[in-house]
Structure formats: C-alpha cells, structure tokens
C-alpha cells in the first residue's frame, strides 16, 4: 500500500508540473481533490462557473474532467471545457466630455458612447470549446513521464498544443525534479480582418457605396498566427511530515501576431479632445520568465497553502502574485466531513514600455503603442470562500464564491485638458461563483 501511495504522489507532482506549465493551479489543486478513485476506476470532476464584471463582460463555463488510474499505474486524464462570453469590452479609447462614435471591429455598423463614459464595445460575444488529454506513466523506478494534447476553438480563434514532462524522484522519494515543455500554435481570424497598425478607424456612413473599399484600406489581411514555447523546471521537496514545498522556473517565448485587433488609441489635441482613433500596434515577439514558490503546511486539522510568483518580460512588465488558501474542517456539523476554505489573492503589475492611455496629436509616433488596460499598471485582489462536503458514496460537492477587484493606475502619464474631468482608469469589479461535484 505504501508503494502505491508514493507512486500516486509522484503522479500528482507530475500533474502539478503539467498544470503549472499550462497556466493552471498547482499544489492547491492536488490538495483540494480529496476524492480519490481506486485503481482501474474512473474519477470524474464536474464544475459550473459564472463570472460577471460590473457593466462589462459576463462568462459562463462548464468543465468536465475524467481521470482513470490503471492497475499498471498509468494515468489518463481527459478534460472538456465549454464557455461563453457576452457583454461589453473596453475598446481602448479614452472617455470624453462629448458623445463619441466608433465603428465596430467587423466594419458593419457603428455605436455611440455617452459623454463621460468609458468607451465599451457591447457586441462582445464568443463561445469556446477546449479539449485536453494527458497520459502519464512510470517508465522506470523513480522516473515518470507525461504527454498531452490541447485543442481550443472559438469563432475567430484556433489553438493547438502539445506538452511533455519528466519527473525524477530521489532521496527516498522526498524530492522530485521535473522538467517540461509545451508548444502552441494559435490562429486568429477576426471578423472584418486584421487592422493595419496605426491606421485611422473609419467612421461614417457604413451604408455608403464606397464604405467597403475604404474599410479594406485599413486592413492587412484576414488572419495571422503566433507560436508559444514554454519550458518549465520544477523542484518539489517534502520538508517534514507536515510541510511540502515546490519551486518552479518558467521561460516562455511567443512569436507572431500579438496585437489585439479590437483595440484602438485616442489621438487627442493639447486640450485632451479626441481628434482620431488609431488601431494599436504591439511587438511581434515576447519573452516571459517567472519564478514560483509554494508551500503547503498541514497543522493538526487545518491546511495552509501559500504561494508567490514573480514574472518579468521584455515588454518591461513585472508582476507579483501572492495567493493563499486556508482549509478549515468543520467535521460533520454542517455536512459530512464539511470544510471552509477562505481564499485571498493579491496581484500587482507594472506597465508595458509601450503602454500609453492616449496619443497626443503632432507628437512623434512611437514604434508601438497600446492603451489596453490589461498591460497597464494595476493592482488587483481576489477574496473568496469555498464550502465543501461529502455526499452519497463519498462524492464531494463544493461551492465557491469570490469577489475580484482590479484598479488600473496612471503609470506616471500626465492628464491634459478635458481628460482631467473624466475617469481614464476605471476599476473593474467582478463576482465569480462556482459549483463543483466530484464522483
């Protein structure tokens, strides 16, 4: 029995490495899966998630995960994710004390923004279907490998990927070194085509006879792609019978089309009044690196999970993420083996070197510029609570509710003229609710 448990831990570590490489959670995810299937049986995890930003994007997501551990200790994991997004998304232009008119990204129709309001395109709508398959197996004593496939399809986006990992145990399996890679090929084909960098948004009568020809002069093609290569090195150490630690280093390089075709920048005069809207332009490559440390500590009854990640890239974005969960058992008082798990996450990010909330008319044009608040300076936090319990046949049912708040800041950019009277850096607030059932 001890041997099986140790091998299971190895597989958990390997799964952790793969999950981290793919940008998902790590030790906490393994810790939270309290329902374990017997060998040669299937284990299923299902979840429904709802995400809603105030006056902006709403998303619904359904997840179905199936895992089978064979008698020979191989593990097959299959995951299906379906999500839909609707609502309004910031187009990058600044608010103005007057009404503004914008052309939709497809070129079909226009929309107006009320004076003083942040410009939002309310036609944001998409459905995504994502499939992941992962196979893990021991190949020799203390050596385990894993490989996986990834497919994600949206209306205007296709992503294909592969990944591979190896984990090596030593020091009586108290230490594990892991190394992994992933490769993704993404193709973007937005409706209306890809806009030409820094070309002016065409605004006018979209029913005019020459509209389509004029609109095409702002396009460079119908689709483009990018490739992403991630490399991950990890080390996991059992400190003692109560404590487990994990350390990761990741290196990621992205090449290809990295501009957001739906984002524009306002060009304002010296009084801050919008004179034009230009499609943004970003570099066609990006290199990201990060270091990550996580610790799980098991007190007599409770479990504390704390992690820290530092990320930096050649766009000059640096970020700090602190994440913590604290699992508190409630016994059988509020459901069989019930528990509460408070969650707190803090995130702070500096701005990309080409981030500019607006451009000033008659000033030199930069090589790249984007007003996308997601690459600007910001602070964000998440606070939440999860409640779980066992139900029939030892299956687990849990509920999670969280509040997310994101506060962009000015990154030292001086506001001019009428821009002082509007909110250039509006906050984003969201509620996240999730129900999970494992059987």
Contacts of 37 (CB under 8 A, 6+ apart): 43, 67, 68, 69
Strand (E) or helix (H) holding 295: strand 285-298
272-277, Cβ contacts within 8 angstroms, sequence gap of 24 or more: 272/415, 272/416, 272/417, 272/418, 272/419, 272/420, 273/96, 273/98, 273/417, 273/418, 274/93, 274/94, 274/96, 274/100, 275/361, 276/200, 276/201, 276/361, 277/93, 277/102, 277/200, 277/201, 277/203
Instruction: Note the pLDDT of residue 220.
Output: 95
**Mean pLDDT, residues 119-147:** 94
What's the confidence (pLDDT) of residue 37?
59
pLDDT at 124 (0 to 100): 79
Neighbours of 77 (CB within 10 A): 20
18: pLDDT strictly greater than 50 = no
More confident position, 63 or 7: 63
* Radius of gyration of the chain, Cα coordinates, nearest whole angstrom: 24
> In what helix (H) or strand (E) does residue 5 lie, and over which residues does it extend?
helix 2-21
pLDDT tops 90 at residue 60: yes
Intra-chain end-to-end CA distance of the chain, in Å: 22
Strands (E), 314-424: 318-331, 338-349, 359-360, 378-390, 396-408
Q: Which residues pair with 367 in a beta bridge?
A: none
For 221-250, letters b (16+ CB in 10 Å) and e give: eeebebebebebebebebeeeeebebebeb
Closest CA to 398 of 59, 37, 46: 46
What integer is the mean pLDDT of 97-106? 95
Mean pLDDT lowest among 156-165, 306-315, 331-340, 426-435: 331-340
The most confident of the ranges 68-72, 189-193, 228-232 is 228-232
Tally Cβ neighbours within 10 Å of residue 2. 6
150-207 residue pLDDT tens: 999 999 999 999 999 999 999 999 999 999 999 999 999 999 999 999 999 999 888 8
Would the pTM count as exceeding 0.75?
yes
């Amino acid at each position: 029995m001890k041997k099986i448990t140790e091998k299971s831990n190895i597989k958990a570590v390997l799964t952790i490495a793969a999950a981290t490489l793919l940008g998902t959670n790590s030790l906490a995810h393994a810790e939270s899966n309290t329902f374990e299937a017997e060998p040669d049986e299937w284990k299923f995890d299902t979840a429904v998630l709802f995400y809603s930003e105030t006056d902006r994007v709403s998303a619904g997501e359904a997840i179905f995960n199936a895992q089978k551990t064979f008698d020979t200790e191989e593990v097959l994991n299959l995951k299906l994710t379906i999500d839909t997004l609707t609502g309004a998304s910031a187009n990058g232009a600044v608010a103005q004390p007057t009404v503004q008119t914008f052309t939709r990204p497809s070129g079909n129709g226009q929309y107006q923004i009320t004076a003083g309001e942040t410009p939002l395109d309310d036609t944001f709508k998409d459905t995504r279907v994502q499939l992941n398959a992962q196979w893990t197996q021991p190949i020799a004593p203390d050596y385990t490998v894993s490989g996986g496939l990834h497919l994600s399809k949206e209306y205007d986006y296709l992503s294909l990927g592969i990944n591979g990992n190896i984990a090596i145990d030593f020091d009586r399996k108290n230490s594990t070194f892991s190394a992994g890679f992933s490769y993704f090929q993404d193709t973007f084909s937005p409706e209306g085509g890809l806009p030409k960098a820094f070309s002016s948004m065409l605004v006018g009568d979209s029913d005019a006879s020459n509209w389509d020809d004029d609109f095409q002069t702002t396009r460079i093609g119908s689709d483009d792609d990018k490739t992403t290569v991630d490399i991950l090195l990890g080390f996991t150490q059992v400190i003692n019978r109560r404590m487990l630690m994990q350390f990761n280093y990741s290196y990621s390089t992205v090449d290809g089309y990295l501009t957001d075709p739906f984002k524009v920048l306002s060009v304002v005069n010296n009084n801050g009044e919008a004179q034009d809207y230009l499609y943004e332009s970003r570099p066609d490559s990006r290199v990201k690196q990060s270091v990550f440390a996580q610790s799980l500590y098991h007190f007599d009854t409770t479990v504390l999970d704390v992690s820290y990640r530092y990320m930096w890239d050649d766009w000059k974005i640096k970020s700090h993420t602190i994440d913590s969960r604290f699992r508190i058992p409630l016994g059988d008082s509020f459901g069989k083996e019930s528990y509460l798990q408070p969650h707190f996450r803090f995130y702070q990010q500096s701005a990309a070197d080409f981030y500019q909330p607006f451009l000033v008319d008659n000033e030199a044009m930069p090589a790249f510029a984007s007003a996308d608040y997601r690459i600007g300076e910001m602070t964000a936090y998440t606070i939440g609570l999860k409640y779980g319990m066992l139900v029939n046949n030892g299956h687990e049912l849990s509920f999670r509710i969280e509040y997310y708040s994101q506060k962009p800041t000015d990154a030292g950019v001086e506001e001019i003229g009428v821009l002082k009277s509007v909110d250039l850096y509006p906050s984003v607030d969201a509620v996240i609710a999730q129900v999970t059932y494992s059987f």
